[in-house]
Amino acid sequence: MFVDHVKIYVKAGDGGNGKVSFRREKYVAAGGPDGGDGGRGGNIVLQIHEGTNTLLAFRYKRKFIAQNGEDGKACKMHGATGEDLIISVPPGTLVKDPETGKIIKDMSNCEPYVLCKGGRGGWGNRHFATPTRQIPRFAKGGTKGEEREVLLELKMLADVGLVGFPNVGKSSIISRISAAKPKIANYHFTTLSPSLGVVQAGEGKGFVAADIPGLIEGASDGLGLGHEFLRHVDRCRLLLHVVDVSGLEGRDPVSDIETINAELARYDAGLASRPQIIVANKCDMIESGTTDIEAFEKYVKDSGRELIYVSALEGKNLDKLVRMTADMLETLPPLTVYEPEYTEEDAAVPSGERTTTVRRENDTYYVEGEWLYNLMGQVNPEDYESLSFFSRVLQKAGVIAMLEEKGCKDGDTVNIYDFEFDFVK
């Protein structure tokens, strides 16, 4: 089964709690506090797994939780750091926010990506000892690890896409020019999933080709199988538009080209304008069919596209097709890699329901919420950029608007988990 989009839940590990402990040792008077710090929670890390081209591994397992950090121990012993949870995805996987559809990361030819950071470990009570507070009987708890739902959407990394109506010979061609072994038979919708093949073009050259199955009229609206696989054409730099020129099935290649291009344009306006080579397959049977070759060649010439006649059955002109494709690819831009659309502020504001309370005591406004408590562990009050980030998050999350509704004015004091600042609109 081919799976190319799935929603999963991921959660990084929570940080361990700090330890409340005092040194108890013979002959050591007034040992003092020696509580250790909690360990950091494990991260959720995405990494590319070469050789896979489906998200089938996520069909039954869609919940991933990293290991928590251990609590601190006595004798100033630090808790163990939680182990990172590494999730392998196929190359070309887009990681998206399911609510907004924004791209978080394009897993294409990149290093492992930390999707969710583990929570920080809490401080042990030894950090809170002062000349006036020599016996601190408290420690700091660890912060929670980041958690979210993400949408994984696979867009194959192929330089070339073979498009066309069912049963025109796309699978036969890719099986002859590469090591791909798609199912081949003389009936429509033989191929039920995209097939990738590495094509060698000589002198160290080569490219990746994808057989995109199931395109028919109405594919962009969900008819046939094409709507399931149109996303895999997005990255292709060049399209090999395969048509049946034999005329044995009563097909008109000109009409087929226009129909498929119309479906590509309806799905994405840029796809129909992508460079194309018209691959006229089954040329060994032209004399037995009814195709008007002169009208067909005139149409292709007027469209400004390249034309090549091939026979996947006999292998005719397939080597020439490979060379033509490789030469054209050298003049085209590289594969598309999508830039992230999801900002740090988006990540800091949790999606879905979140509870935020604002209350006033005397002249101070107190803001509380579990997500804010976790956010405070990421903010450095001594750093200007960190404070600017904190301010943008409060604005985006609607905290500033809530303070104004409660009557907070410029110069009033705002307290968020012991961090106080003057309100400025």
Q: What is the pLDDT of residues 256-299, one digit of tens each?
A: 999 888 888 888 888 878 899 999 998 988 776 666 888 999 99
| Cβ neighbours for 150, distance < 8 A, ≥ 6 positions apart | 7, 8, 10, 95, 96, 97, 98, 104, 115
CA quadruple 91, 97, 103, 108: dihedral, nearest 10: -10
| Residue range 389-418: mean pLDDT, rounded | 89
Q: What is the CATH number that goes with domain 160-329?
A: 3.40.50.300
25-38 residues labelled b (16+ CB within 10 A) or e (exposed): eeeeeeeebbbbbb
Of 291 and 344, the structure prediction assigns the larger pLDDT to 344
Amino acid 188: pLDDT:
46
Distance CA 210, CA 197 (A): 6
| Residue range 189-195: mean pLDDT, rounded | 58
Q: Which helix (H) or strand (E) holds 385?
A: helix 384-396
Amino acid 59: pLDDT:
85
- Give the SS3 label for residue 132: coil
Residue 64 has pLDDT above 90, yes or no: yes
Amino acid 226: pLDDT:
52
Residue 187 has pLDDT above 50, yes or no: no
Task: Outline which parts of the chain fall under CATH 3.40.50.300.
Answer: 160-329
Q: What is the pTM of this model?
A: 0.77
Amino acid 191: pLDDT:
47
| Beta-sheet strand order (sheet of 147-154) | 63-65, 5-11, 147-154, 93-96, 103-107
Percent with pLDDT over 70 in the chain: 90
What is each CA distance from 283 to 38, 168, 174, 373, in whole angstroms?
A: 72, 11, 17, 69
Under CATH, which architecture does the 1-154 domain have? Distorted Sandwich (2.70)
| Cβ neighbours for 347, distance < 8 A, ≥ 6 positions apart | 104, 146, 148
352-422 topology per CATH: GMP Synthetase; Chain A, domain 3 (3.30.300)
| Cβ neighbours for 79, distance < 8 A, ≥ 6 positions apart | 16, 19, 36, 37, 38, 39, 69, 70, 71, 72, 73, 121
Distance CA 324, CA 395 (A): 55
Residue showing tokens 């990255």: 235
Task: Outline which parts of the chain fall under CATH 3.30.300.350.
Answer: 352-422
Task: Outline which parts of the chain fall under CATH 2.70.210.12.
Answer: 1-154
Which of 35-39, 105-109, 127-131 is modeled with the greatest confidence? 35-39
Nearest to 170 by CA among 194, 146, 199: 194
